[in-house]
């Protein structure tokens, strides 16, 4: 396993184990972003096939437990998600949360560690890229970006990738369509990137694509092709396959690459 990249898709699935039924929700709720990152699975699988790299994807809905949250994060098991009350989570107790952590959250996190250990053991230091998707609007506020790159204090992938994306015709004009630490800040303590990439000193970035652009398989595949093509030369940079401990901005104001060296 000597590939120089591990792809992650933390919110790939909207499925639930049979014992949980639908957590008391209407089936339509599982087609919404509250259950999974729409389109992210196909984007991830397409990128993995083109780049010939391993990918780890979850097999359970974030409504059960969010694998991208720290074990002590208050949003680990959501009782209300974007206006939807989740009956099966409303009265969940500590014992049930511990069961979900041990049965679903921890095995995914452990698999990331085992995979990264195996990759590092080959002598080639891997980068880590997590694929997510975001809603076109949140709480009535439109999100103009087509794609966002989330990063902490390590800009080794984010900076050159932002420059490369700014040259892509499907994202022109870049100032309106490419988000730099948008629609969220990339410094989230305990998330998969913080735990498995930042703390290890591995080059990393979290990529968010707007969900209306990848809602069907054909569009998601097309974005997977685009991202694989633009990411490949970035991964060949010599500074990527190096362990560097940059620390974390968690708890501090969000940064933008415009604060550093980025200019389209």
For the chain, the domain total comes to 1
The tens-digit pLDDT sequence of the chain (264 residues) is 457 999 999 999 999 999 999 999 999 999 999 999 999 999 999 999 999 999 999 999 999 999 999 999 999 999 998 878 999 999 999 999 999 999 999 999 999 999 999 999 999 999 999 999 999 998 889 999 999 999 998 999 999 999 999 999 999 888 889 999 999 999 889 999 999 999 999 999 999 999 999 999 999 999 999 999 999 999 999 999 999 988 776 666 667 776 555 443
Closest CA to 59 of 13, 90, 99, 7: 13
Burial class (CB in 10 A: 0-12, 13-18, 19+), 133: buried
Q: Residue 263 has what pLDDT?
A: 41
DSSP 3-state helix, strand, coil percentages of the chain (rounded to 5)? 40, 15, 50
Instruction: Give backbone dihedrals phi and psi of 207, rounded to 5 degrees, phi first.
Output: -105, 125
Question: If you count DSSP H runs as helices and E runs as strands, how many of each does the chain have, helices first?
Answer: 8, 10
Measured CA to CA, the distance from residue 70 to residue 194 in angstroms comes to: 9
Contact 111, 191 (CB under 8 A): no
Q: Residue 3 has what pLDDT?
A: 78
Is 196 within a domain?
yes
Q: How many other C-beta atoms are found inside a 10 Å radius of the C-beta of residue 96?
A: 14
Answer yes or no: pTM beyond 0.85. Answer: yes
Is 222 within a domain?
yes
Is 128 within a domain?
yes
Residue 96 belongs to what domain range?
A: 5-259
CATH number, domain of 166, equals 3.40.630.40
Query: Which H/E stretch holds residue 5?
Result: strand 5-9
Is 264 within a domain?
no
Burial class (CB in 10 A: 0-12, 13-18, 19+), 254: middle
Contact 68, 192 (CB under 8 A): yes
Closest CA to 232 of 100, 49, 60: 49
84 contacts: CB under 8 Å, gap ≥ 6: 25, 29, 32, 34
Q: How many other C-beta atoms are found inside a 10 Å radius of the C-beta of residue 247?
A: 13
Is 102 within a domain?
yes
């Amino acid at each position: 396993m000597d590939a120089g990249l591990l792809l992650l898709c933390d919110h790939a699935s909207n499925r639930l184990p049979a014992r949980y039924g639908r957590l008391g929700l209407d089936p339509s709720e599982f087609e919404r972003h509250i259950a999974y990152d729409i389109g992210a699975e196909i984007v991830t699988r397409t990128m993995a096939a083109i780049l010939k790299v391993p990918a780890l994807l979850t097999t359970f809905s974030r409504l059960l437990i969010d694998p991208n949250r720290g074990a002590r994060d208050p949003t680990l098991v959501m009782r209300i998600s974007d206006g939807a009350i989740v009956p099966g989570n409303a009265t969940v107790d500590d014992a049930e949360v511990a069961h979900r952590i041990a049965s679903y959250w921890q095995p995914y996190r452990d698999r990331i560690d085992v995979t990264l250990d195996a990759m590092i053991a080959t002598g080639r230091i891997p980068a880590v890229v997590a694929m997510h998707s975001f809603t076109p609007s949140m709480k009535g506020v439109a999100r103009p970006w087509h794609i966002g790159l989330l990063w902490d204090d390590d800009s080794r992938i984010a900076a050159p990738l932002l420059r490369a994306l700014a040259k892509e015709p499907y994202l022109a004009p870049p100032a309106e369509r490419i988000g730099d630490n948008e629609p969220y800040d990339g410094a989230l303590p305990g998330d998969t990137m913080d735990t498995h990439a930042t703390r290890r000193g591995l080059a990393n970035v979290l990529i968010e694509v707007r969900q209306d652009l990848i809602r069907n398989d054909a569009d998601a595949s097309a974005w997977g092709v685009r991202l694989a093509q633009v990411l490949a030369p970035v991964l060949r940079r010599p500074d990527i396959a190096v362990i560097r401990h940059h620390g974390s901005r968690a708890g501090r104001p969000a940064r933008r690459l415009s604060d550093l060296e980025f200019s389209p």
